[in-house]
Copies of this chain bind each other. A is one copy, B any other.
Amino acid sequence: MKAEIITIGDEILIGQTVDTNSAYMSKELNALGVSISRITSISDTKEEIIQALNEAQSRVELVILTGGLGPTNDDITKFALCEYFNTELIVYPDIEKYVREIFEKRGRPILEVNLKQAELPKDCFIIPNKIGTASGMWFERFGKVVVSMPGVPYEMKYLMQNGVLSKIQETFERPTVLHKTVMTTGAGESFLADKIKDWEDSLVNEEIHIAYLPSSGIVKIRLSKVSENRAEAQEKIDRKVMELLQIIPNYIYGFDDLPLEQAVGDLLLENKLTVSTAESCTGGHTAHLITSIPGSSSYYLGSVLSYANEVKRQELGVQQVDLDNYGAVSQQVVEQMASAVRLKMNTDFGIATSGVAGPDGGSEEKPVGMVWIAVDSKAGVVAKCFHFENDRGRNIQRASIAALNMLRLEINKNY
Q: Indicate whether A231 reaches chain B with its CB closer than 8 angstroms.
A: no
**Shortest distance from the beta carbon of A195 to any chain B beta carbon, whole Å:** 10
Bound CA span A190–B132, Å: 12
**Shortest distance from the beta carbon of A348 to any chain B beta carbon, whole Å:** 14
Q: Binary interface profile of A, 302-315, with partner B (CB < 8 Å = 1, else 0)?
A: 11111110110001
Structural contact, B291 and A301, CB atoms closer than 8 A: no
Contact A37 B43, CB 8 Å, known A284-B305, A292-B283: yes
Q: Which of A18-26, A140-148, A374-382 contacts B (4 or more CB under 8 A)?
A: A18-26
Bound CA span A345–B311, Å: 7
Q: Which of B41, B72, B358, B391 contacts A38 (CB 8 A)?
A: B41
Bound CA span A357–B152, Å: 20
Q: Which residues of B contact A194 (CB under 8 A)?
A: 111, 113
Q: Which residues of B contact A220 (CB under 8 A)?
A: 16
Structural contact, B283 and A300, CB atoms closer than 8 A: yes
Counting chain A residues whose Cβ lies within 8 A of the other chain, the interface size class is 35 or more
Q: Binary interface profile of A, 65-91, with partner B (CB < 8 Å = 1, else 0)?
A: 000001111100000000000000000
Q: Indicate whether A13 reaches chain B with its CB closer than 8 angstroms.
A: yes
Structural contact, B40 and A15, CB atoms closer than 8 A: no
Q: Which residues of B contact A189 (CB under 8 A)?
A: 70-72
Q: Which of B12, B15, B42, B302 contacts A308 (CB 8 A)?
A: B302
Q: Which residues of B contact A15 (CB under 8 A)?
A: 22-30, 36
A105 to chain B: closest residue by CB: B387
Q: Which residues of B contact A113 (CB under 8 A)?
A: 190, 193-194
Q: Which residues of B contact A358 (CB under 8 A)?
A: 294
Q: Indicate whether A295 reaches chain B with its CB closer than 8 angstroms.
A: yes
Structural contact, A12 and B37, CB atoms closer than 8 A: no
Q: Which of B72, B292, B392 contacts A292 (CB 8 A)?
A: B392
Q: Which of B38, B224, B283, B308 contacts A40 (CB 8 A)?
A: B38
Q: Indicate whether A354 reaches chain B with its CB closer than 8 angstroms.
A: no
Structural contact, B26 and A22, CB atoms closer than 8 A: no
Structural contact, B16 and A22, CB atoms closer than 8 A: no
Structural contact, B38 and A27, CB atoms closer than 8 A: no
Within 8 A of B (CB), among A1-17: 9-17
**Shortest distance from the beta carbon of A266 to any chain B beta carbon, whole Å:** 16
Q: Which of A120-128, A206-214, A241-249, A402-410 contacts B (4 or more CB under 8 A)?
A: A206-214
Can you give 15 contacting A-B residue pairs, CB < 8 Å?
Answer: A11-B222, A13-B35, A18-B19, A37-B43, A40-B41, A70-B212, A71-B190, A108-B191, A154-B391, A283-B290, A284-B286, A297-B361, A300-B307, A301-B307, A302-B304
